[in-house]
Amino acid sequence: MIKLSKRLQQIADLVPNGARLADIGSDHALLPVHLAERGMIAFAVAGEVNEGPLRAASKQVCEAGLTERIDVRLGDGLAVIRPGEVDVITIAGMGGALIVSILSAGLPKLEGVRTLILQPNVGEEAVRRWLVDHGWFLAKEHILEEDGKIYEILTAMRVPNAEKANVELYAPRQLAPSVTASPDRLLQMGPYLLEQASDTFIHKWLLELEKMERICAQLALSEAEASRRKEAELREYIAETEDILTCLQKAKR
C-alpha cells in the first residue's frame, strides 16, 4: 500500500468517506491511490496537465490494480472533469495564484462540488479571498512543517448563507486593548490558524518577519522616494505583525 508524506496524509485525512474525488495536479496519483486502497473513496479522477506525470500516475494506478476506480486524465485544471461528476476536489502543491486561476477557469465544473481541499505552497491569502468572493466558506485550516517547509491546508465547503458566515469568520478580532486583527489580517494569516496560534504558525510568521526585515534593509540602500515609502509601509506592517504575535504568545502562556 502507498505510504504518504505528512503533508499528503493530512490532506487524505480531510477527504470525506465515500467521496467522488478529483485530484488536480495529481502527479503520481499518490493521494487517490492511497484513498482507494483503503476503500475511502467511491471513485477518483487523477488530473495532470503534462504527459510525464500522467504516465507516472497511470503506472501507479495500474500497478495498484485500481484502473476501475481511478481514471487518469490529461487536461488543464478542471477541464479533466464534467459538471456534477465529483463532489470533492483536491489541489495541492501549487502556488495560490495558480490554484485561484484553476478554480476561476473551471467555475462551471464546480457544480455539485461540496468540498474543496486546497494546499497552496505560497499565496494562501489569494486563495482565501477567492473563496470569499465565490461564496465558499472556509471550514477548517491546518498548518504543518515537513522537511523544513511549512504548509497550510484550507478546507472550504458549500454552506447556506455563506456570505453571512464569511462576514462573521473574518470579523475584526480584538487581541489586546490596542491590538486588533483586521479582516485583511485574518485573510493573510488565516482565521483559524491565528486563533489556534500553534508553534508552527508562530514559527512561520517569525520567518516572514525576517524576510520583511531583509527587504527593508535592501530598500534602505536606495535613495529613491518610492523606496522610502515602501520601507515605511513595510516597517508599519512589521510592527503590526509583531504586536499580533506577541498577543498570541501571551494568550498561550
pLDDT digits (tens, 9 = 90+) for 32-85: 999 999 999 999 999 999 999 999 999 999 999 999 999 999 999 999 999 999
CATH of domain 6-169: 3.40.50.150
Beta strands in 34-86 (DSSP E): 41-48, 70-74
3-class DSSP assignment, residue 221: coil
Structural domain 173-252, CATH architecture: Orthogonal Bundle (1.10)
For residues 209 and 242, the answer to whether their CB atoms sit within 8 Å is yes
pLDDT per position as a tens digit, 165-206: 999 999 999 999 999 999 999 999 999 999 999 999 999 999
Could you state, in order of their start, the residue ranges of all structural domains in the chain?
6-169, 173-252
For the stretch 211-253, pLDDT in tens is 999 999 999 999 899 999 999 999 999 999 999 999 999 887 7
Mean pLDDT of the chain: 96
In this prediction, residue 110 carries a pLDDT of 97
Q: Alpha helix locations (H) across 73-198? A: 96-105, 124-133, 162-169, 183-189, 191-196
Task: Give the DSSP H/E element, type plus range, for residue 199.
Answer: helix 199-220
pLDDT of 63: 96
> What does the alpha-carbon distance between residue 63 and residue 1 come to, in Å, rounded to a whole number?
11
> Is the pLDDT confidence value at 12 over 80?
yes
pLDDT score, position 1:
82
Q: Select from 59, 64, 29, 66 the least CA-distant residue to 46.
A: 29
Average pLDDT rounded to a whole number, residues 4-21: 97
Between 3 and 173, whose confidence is greater?
A: 173
**pLDDT confidence tier of residue 27, bands split at 50, 70 and 90:** confident
Task: Determine the pLDDT at residue 204.
Answer: 98
Assigned C-alpha cell, 183: 479582516
Q: Tens digits of per-residue pLDDT, 104-157?
A: 999 999 999 999 999 999 999 999 999 999 999 999 999 999 999 999 999 999
